Structure 1
């Protein structure tokens, strides 16, 4: 059996409106927003009695999606938003951008801050991590040079 595609990455937030504003400013497109509840939902997630509002956003190329969730019930169990990048588990999502400096200028108006600095990776990419809404860790990558859009920063190392 093989995977057909990656459907989406999910991020739990406290302020769904602010997170939607941030990711639409980044260039994602809001596809829809809806409440999720009912006994079936708890059977999927293992969180019985959940009441959640989700927003689904897609990247401009239509190939990737981001699901933002705000839990109204039960209470949030733990908070990993300020975990350092070497913490175990899912940690960040990386976005390819046209111009990293312009993107940072746009997102800084919404409170985004660079974790350390923007670096040049072997004249292939300019990369940085930022803290977005609620401290969410996000990677930004601006391709340099003549590599194809499908290439990945580590592909040439293999």
Structure 2
């Protein structure tokens, strides 16, 4: 029924802060648009007159996209989930070949984490490490890598 994963959409309150956060993780800005009009978001069930949307990708060709959206008129509402046991999409998860480098960046830049980094065994028996952090709005972003 479908051919590939297309994108994940994240609603943000400050686009520039969000871009800084995600580009520091290795994403690149692909498109940055600011449409205005009377019926921009009827497909979302939201009445919106103005927004800013930024498409981010990894540098590799055909990578999945993150679609950041900042609603301007009216502004984005409500914070994301405060804990990770809510029904619905709980977090974005990224694989890294260099978990120690990612962990160093997180600690160096004082990015808030939901909890400590941990080692665990995956359902297939792989030894992995993970940490889950908050983006500037509190959206959960997980990093997973092989345990050394």
TM-score under structure 1 normalisation? Answer: 0.79
Counterpart for residue 72 of structure 2: 72
**Paired positions, count:** 143
Aligned CA-pair RMSD: 2.0
Q: Is the CA contact 1:25–1:107 (under 8 Å) kept in the aligned structure 2?
A: no
**For structure 1, which runs of at least 5 residues remain unmatched after alignment?**
146-158
* Aligned position for 2:140: 137
CA deviations 1:10-37 (Å, max 9, x no partner) are 1111111111111111011110211133
- What is the CA–CA distance in structure 2 between the aligned matches of 1:17 and 1:108, rounded to whole Å? 21
TM-score, normalising length from structure 2?
0.84
Tell me, yes or no, if the aligned pair for 1:111 and 1:133 is still in contact at 8 Å.
Answer: no
Which structure's residues are more often helix, by fraction? Answer: 1
CA deviation after TM superposition for structure 1 residue 69, in Å: 0.9
The runs of 5 or more residues in structure 2 that have no matched partner are none
What's the offset of the Cα at 1:109? 4.5
Cα distance in 2 for residues equivalent to 1:132 and 1:108: 14
Please report how far the alpha carbon of residue 39 of structure 1 lies from its aligned counterpart in structure 2 after TM superposition: 3.9
Q: Which residue of 2 aligns with 1:114?
A: 113
Matches within 5 A, 1:51-130: 51-61=50-60, 62-81=62-81, 83-122=82-121, 123-130=126-133
1:51 CA displacement: 1.2
